[in-house]
């Protein structure tokens, strides 16, 4: 049986753990700073970028079918924007996050994660083709409560480390994901009930959506594909993020470096106690 969380939680499902600016509305992008990438959106070329850090190197493949994120990332690479920035948020068995411009000259213990470039990127969520498997590269963003379009940070990114999941865990997760999809589709009615203070109506709708979610999964119509189930049970990842954030690449070599970053000792804000910096990035053949 799926855990019956309050429907109110559906309004803020975007995980704060990967938010890029918790106190800013990501939809209020500065149009003057927004990159002009539309003319290149038909380019489906994937591109490799080598990332050198203070603890080792790794290479990412930027997907050609997420061209806005690919081209924005490449623009920042050619501008040397990422040079000297920190991996400012690291959570073991979850992800490592970087790209906050405020981290370049950050003081020891300084809280990070709210830095941005004054613009956001439209979501390019290609789910289930691209999902949060171990090594996936994705864009950080603010939560759904202030960013219902799920627009991405202009610079902050994360690499998934995650963990492996049992069959029962994946089944329960599929139930929760199916419930979330149904709740998203019914969000106008949910908001209407919340505004009216109709707690009984919300409870009844919640029970209805739970039953529908259970029926979908039992019929083999769950949100996860067979490939996802196989990957999450053997390689690992963070399936609870699927469909919520733009995955626009993956680590193709140097995952051992990501593992070193993942295992760094951190403070109460998940910032590594010893700075881990990006030294440089460059496009490679």
For residue 16, the model assigns a pLDDT of 37
User: Distances in Å between the alpha carbon of 222 and those of 94, 145, 169, 213, 244?
Assistant: 23, 25, 14, 8, 16
**Dihedral sign computed on CA atoms, order 33, 38, 39, 44:** positive
Instruction: Count CA within 13 A, CB hemisphere, residue 104.
Output: 12
pLDDT for 26: 35
pTM of the model: 0.82
pLDDT for position 95: 98
Q: What pLDDT is stored for residue 42 in this prediction?
A: 57
Q: What's the rounded Cα separation, in Å, for the pair 116 and 45?
A: 27
- pLDDT at residue 184 in the model: 87
The confidence score (pLDDT) of residue 285 equals: 82
- CA–CA distance, 147 with 27 (Å, rounded to integer): 6
Provide the token pair at 146.
């202030």
Gyration radius of the chain's alpha carbons: 19
Residue ranges and CATH numbers for the domains of the chain are 15-163+241-284 (2.40.100.10)
What pLDDT is recorded for position 18? 59
Taking a C-beta distance cutoff of 8 angstroms, is the pair 96, 115 a contact?
Answer: no
Tokens of 136: 């996936």
In DSSP terms, 277 is beta-bridged to: 86
Mean pLDDT, 10 residues at a time, over the chain (285 residues)? 41 41 38 42 84 98 98 98 98 98 95 96 96 98 94 98 96 91 91 93 94 92 91 96 96 98 97 98 94
Give pLDDT, residue 245: 97
pLDDT of residue 37: 40
Q: What is the residue whose two structure tokens read 């950080």?
A: 140
């Amino acid at each position: 049986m799926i855990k019956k969380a309050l429907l109110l939680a559906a309004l803020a499902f975007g995980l704060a753990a990967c938010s890029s600016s918790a106190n800013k509305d990501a939809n209020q992008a500065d149009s003057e700073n927004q990159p002009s990438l539309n003319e290149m959106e038909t380019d489906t070329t994937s591109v490799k970028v080598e990332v050198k850090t203070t603890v080792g190197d790794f290479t990412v493949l930027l997907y050609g079918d997420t061209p806005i994120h690919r081209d924005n990332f490449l623009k920042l690479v050619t501008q040397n924007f990422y040079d000297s920035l920190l991996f400012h948020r690291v959570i073991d068995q979850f992800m490592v996050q970087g790209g906050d411009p405020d981290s370049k000259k950050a003081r020891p213990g300084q809280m990070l994660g709210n830095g941005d470039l004054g613009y956001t990127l439209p979501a390019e969520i290609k789910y289930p083709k691209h999902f949060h498997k171990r090594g996936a590269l994705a864009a950080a963003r603010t939560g759904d409560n202030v960013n219902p379009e799920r627009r991405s940070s202009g610079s902050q990114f994360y690499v998934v480390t995650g963990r492996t999941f049992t069959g029962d865990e994946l089944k329960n997760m599929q139930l929760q994901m199916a419930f979330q999809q149904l709740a998203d589709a019914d969000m106008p009615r949910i908001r209407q009930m919340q505004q009216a203070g109709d707690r009984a109506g919300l409870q009844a709708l919640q029970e209805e959506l739970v039953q529908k979610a259970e029926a979908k999964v039992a019929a083999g119509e769950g949100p996860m594909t067979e490939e996802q189930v196989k990957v999450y049970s053997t390689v690992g990842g963070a399936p609870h993020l699927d469909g919520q954030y733009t995955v626009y690449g993956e680590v193709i070599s140097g995952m051992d470096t990501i593992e070193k970053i993942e295992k760094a000792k951190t403070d109460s804000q998940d910032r590594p106690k010893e700075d881990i910096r990006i030294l440089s990035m460059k496009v490679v053949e």
